[in-house]
Structure 1
């Protein structure tokens, strides 16, 4: 067995999954069914990711014929071979230092910052029984879901797998639907205040801040669901 064989390390699967899931849980603190569904999808993605990263390389197994023919000198049983972007782009050196891996670290960190900022503002608003509409909530209506998607996209850049590539668009649709259900609850609770907020603030993608000259007017109809 090669010295740098990086699989069948189920202790690392459990340890890394627990670290990221508990870390995210400490920022999100799910309370409602919608909260738990959103968090559960994220947890499933993380477990699937680390199961392939350190447990069993399912993607490498399915692609072994194609990878072996295209990269005959590649040792598919090593952990570094799981950094598929490194192999596909022909980058040399430490895969942890390639451009996509470095970008993934930035996205993962940004996602956790989004989760923290969202939870801090939402927690204060819930304690005061008011609508969360300040800070990051003044830019997007669903920063927690955006944070989850940003973290998962970061991991896709870092360690793409067939399973997580399938899960990501499905979870994006799930989060969009959860956001719609959440908005119905907020409308029932806050009425016109939330409707006005939804007209001003986009759901997931923040609008560029208008410049000092010739700002573009926002549309007068409905809420932005970008």
Structure 2
């Protein structure tokens, strides 16, 4: 290892966490208690991620003995060492820069798609709520819970870019949490909209869209 360290930069932890959370907040605009729980879980993941990315590399520290033995030339204190998929799977990218590797580029696709879906879903939901109607247009015509799917896409994108032990443990917990929130939300929609929601749910998958497009008529 060389003498320089890419960590201990807590100002970057605060800055990056704040930027991504404000970005997500502007798209999601939580209003209900359920919305805040959804956003809060996402926020915890983001803070944990950037705390290791720029603050203290807990995952690198815990794996340091194994990494140093398996990859003796790896500078554990460098920023690139945190891109563990690059190291473990040999995805070194162009010029040996993991930022241009397959996993890193794929992560941008997931993160961008997630924020795009979140924005579009919120716009449809906002206008449906103003009409006191069931949201069935746009992303809601393909899946019943596009906002939850959007958050999962963003989280998955970050895991592809910078995996940590904590966020890898948090990810399945968040999947279960969002799944339960979706079921609870559907019960409320069933009570509120009755047969209209039953018809919509029968035509529209919960999380994974069908390959063929189908219009939803209520």
- TM-score, length-normalised on structure 2? 0.94
Q: Which residue in 2 is equivalent to 1:85? A: 85
Structure 2 stretches lacking a partner, 5+ long: none
Q: What corresponds to 1:73 in structure 2?
A: 73
- Paired residue for 2:107, among 104, 107, 114? 104
Rate the CA distance shift 1:105–1:4 in 2: closer, same or farther, 3 A. Answer: farther
State the secondary structure of the residue aligned to 2:99: helix
Would the aligned equivalents of 1:4 and 1:79 in 2 still touch at CA under 8 Å? no
Q: CA deviation at 1:5?
A: 2.0
In 1, the alpha carbon distance for the partners of 2:14 and 2:185 equals 32
- Corresponding residue number in structure 1 for 2:202: 199
List aligned pairs for 1:93-172, cutoff 5 A: 93-172=96-175
Aligned to 2:10: 10
Whole-Å separation in 1 of the counterparts to 2:185 and 2:3: 50
Aligned CA RMSD, in angstroms, stands at 1.4
Q: Cα offset for 1:60?
A: 0.2
**CA 1:194–1:4 in structure 2 vs 1: closer, same or farther (change >3 Å)?**
farther
Cα distance change of structure 1 residues 72 and 2 upon mapping to structure 2, 3 Å threshold:
closer
Aligned length: 211
Q: TM-score when scaled to structure 1?
A: 0.90
> 1:4: how far off?
5.4
Rounded to whole Å, the distance in 2 between the matches of 1:185 and 1:23 is 28
Residues 121 and 3 of structure 1: is their aligned pair in 2 closer, same or farther, counting only changes over 3 Å?
farther
Q: Distance in 1 between matches of 2:27 and 2:185?
A: 19
> 2: distance between equivalents of 1:121 and 1:107?
21
Structure 1 gaps, min length 5? 212-226
Match of 1:178 in 2: 181
Going from structure 1 to structure 2, the CA distance change for 1:196 and 1:9 (only over 3 Å counts) comes to same
The offset of 1:2, in angstroms, is: 5.1
